[in-house]
Structures are given as structure tokens and as C-alpha cells.
């Protein structure tokens, strides 16, 4: 009985760790203001609309709603694993998100 309780506790800990890993996003990519300008220009050229929500406090970790269109990074931006990231313009500011979680990892001014 004691061994099965330990097994259940270990399994629960693994599940909680997996859940935590899914909602935590980390990036070692350094984002520059120049890249922010490239994203802004790309969105203008492609006629992408800004998602505007005056109540939204957009900062790292903010989850972009599923109803908001996100776009692949422009080819001019060279980062490791570019398929991992997308961008969106929120309240007229470029924002990079982690594609699978839709969580903000960087905002540009």
C-alpha cells in the first residue's frame, strides 16, 4: 500500500510539473528594437490589423486570445527556431508570442 501511495504521489508531481512546463515560456532569444521596427513595417505592408483592447495589460506571460489573428515572423528576422514564434500588433505595439501557448514573450515600444 505504501509503495502505491508513493507511486501516486510521484505521478501527481510529474503531472503538475508537466502542466507548469506548458504554461511557462522561456526564450534565450534577444529581441532588438530593429526587429520591432521590421515587424511593424511587415504588418503595414501586409495590411494586418492591430488588435485593440484598452483593458489589456500586455506584458510577458499575457495570453493572446484564440480569436486574435497571429502571424509568422517576417523572413527578415533571423532567430533560432523561428517557427516557434509568431507576432501580433496589440494596441499598436508589436508583440512576439510563443506560438503553441500564445503567450507573450517580448513587447516592443
Q: What is the pLDDT of residue 86?
A: 97
23-65 pLDDT per residue, tens: 444 556 889 999 999 999 999 999 999 999 999 899 999 999 9
Can you give the pTM of this predicted structure?
0.72
Fold classified for 28-107: Nuclear Transport Factor 2; Chain: A, (3.10.450)
Q: What is the pLDDT of residue 27?
A: 54
54-85 pLDDT per residue, tens: 998 999 999 999 999 999 999 999 999 999 99
Q: What is the pLDDT of residue 14?
A: 45
Q: What DSSP line would sit under 7-74, residue for residue?
A: HHHHHHHHHHHHHHHHH-----PPP-HHHHHHHHHHHHHTTPPPB--TT----TTPBPPTTS--EEPP
Decide if pLDDT at 10 tops 70. Answer: no
Amino acid at each position: 500500500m505504501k509503495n502505491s501511495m508513493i507511486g501516486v504521489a510521484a505521478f501527481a508531481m510529474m503531472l503538475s510539473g508537466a502542466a507548469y512546463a506548458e504554461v511557462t515560456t522561456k526564450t534565450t532569444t534577444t529581441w532588438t528594437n530593429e526587429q520591432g521596427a521590421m515587424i511593424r513595417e511587415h504588418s503595414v505592408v501586409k495590411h494586418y490589423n492591430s488588435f485593440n483592447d484598452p483593458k489589456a495589460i500586455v506584458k510577458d506571460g499575457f495570453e493572446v486570445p484564440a480569436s486574435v489573428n497571429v502571424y509568422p515572423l517576417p523572413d527578415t528576422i533571423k532567430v533560432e527556431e523561428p517557427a516557434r514564434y509568431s507576432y501580433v500588433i496589440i494596441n499598436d505595439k508589436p508583440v512576439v508570442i510563443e506560438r503553441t501557448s500564445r503567450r507573450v514573450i517580448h513587447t516592443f515600444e
